[in-house]
Amino acid sequence: MRIRGRRYRTIWLAADGWSVKVIDQTRLPHAFVVRRLTSLGDAAEAIRTMVVRGAPLIGATAAYGLCLGAREDASDRSLDVGRETLLAARPTAINLRWALDKLRGVARGVPVEERVGVLYAAAAEICDADVRACEAIGRHGVELIRAAKVGKRGRGPVNILTHCNAGWLATVDWGTALAPVYAAHDKGIDLHVWVDETRPRNQGANLTAWELAQHGVPYTVIPDNAGGHLMQRGEVDLCITGTDRTLISGDVCNKIGTYLKALAAKDTGVPFYVALPHSSVDWEETTGSAVPIEERPEREVTHVEGRAPDGSTVVVRVTPEGSPVANHAFDITPARLVTGLLTDRGLCDASPAGLFRLFPERRAGKGDPSPPARMAESRVPGGGG
């Protein structure tokens, strides 16, 4: 990603070689602030308070969090306690557990005094692998967008609707749902993105809009309830969202409101794709109701934050004093509503057969499909397993 002419990732090691720098996403879009994390507690707090967010970036931050903890104490007991602390920071994104289990596995069998170096190397590889995976999602996804463009026979840009933020801010770089958008835009394919504002945290209005603008991609922010209307009018050619956890059944857990967009897409015949790296697949769970759905503070619903004309940040109440509130952060979109899963190994059906076709090593319940990933051929449009 390029911000004001400078290349960034969302997470990197500071010049001291051990502390960790992240972009403070709670300050965007109005201020670009970099935060330094120096302890496992800092990393857990950054995840919990959504200084960093988005499933792959949560995983990467947790990995470095465990490294920071290991600098203090790299014993088995300390690593186990650190893992539990980081796991408790946010419950839904599977990448958190995936990254921690990977690091915990790497440390096993390594003498305690050698563990810090080994863990840092593994955390760096998690970040590099995420970038490679997201680039691959972009390469595969371009073909979907190109096919949509051909299908339009020159009638205007390809209109893509996305929900929440699944761009480079949600990953280490490139993004999941937005990786194909950036790749297609860079190849000169005429496109435009409908950006769901994504109440209550406004990840669409704040983050997706900001990063699309940084990259020069045409976009329009819409209220969360507008997507169905636009689909009925033929103004959406395809939907692409990210996911915090996709079950082996093909059911997709993502930001609250994703399900409603998928329902509208099904009703109007708009293809609905979900983009994900392999680290977002839950290879064990088949039942959506078993996924822990994070419930966040009432204040995110009762209040909104924005920028006042004098440049200060203001927070104002939007509900009557004392209103009861529910704030479920994620929902489950059943596989039957998903046209295809756009993975780092290509496109597949949202089904066990589809996922196992691309990741056969997981059928035996073993092996991690980490890059260098075998690149399966993309199939467009409409998935296929």
Of positions 74, 166, 179, 239, contacts ligand MRU by CB under 6 A: 166
**Window 169-188: residues binding ligand MRU (CB under 6 A):** 170-171, 176
Q: Nearest approach, Cβ of 198 to ligand MRU (angstroms)? A: 8
244 touching ligand MRU, by CB under 6 A: yes
333 touching ligand MRU, by CB under 6 A: no
164 touching ligand MRU, by CB under 6 A: yes
Of positions 53, 83, 97, 149, contacts ligand MRU by CB under 6 A: 53
- Tell me how many degrees the CA angle 114-119-124 measures, rounded to the nearest 5: 135
- Size of residue set near ligand MRU by CB under 6 A: 17
Of positions 10, 61, 159, 243, contacts ligand MRU by CB under 6 A: 243
Residue 267 is a catalytic residue: no
Q: Of 244, 282, 344, 349, which one is the catalytic site residue?
A: 244
| Shortest-Cβ-distance residue relative to ligand MRU | 242
Per-residue binder mask for ligand MRU (CB under 6 A), 252-271, x = binder: --xx----------------
Q: Nearest approach, Cβ of 66 to ligand MRU (angstroms)? A: 19
Q: Specify the stretch interacting with ligand MRU by CB under 6 A; choose among 31-39, 70-78, 165-173, 281-289.
A: 165-173
Q: Specify the stretch interacting with ligand MRU by CB under 6 A; choose among 26-34, 97-105, 123-131, 166-174.
A: 166-174
- Residues 286-317: b if buried by 16+ CB within 10 A, e if exposed: eebeebebeebeeebbbeeeeeeeeeeeeeee
* Catalytically annotated residues: 244
| Positions that interact with ligand MRU (CB under 6 A) | 53-56, 93, 164, 166, 170-171, 176, 203, 242-244, 254-255, 329
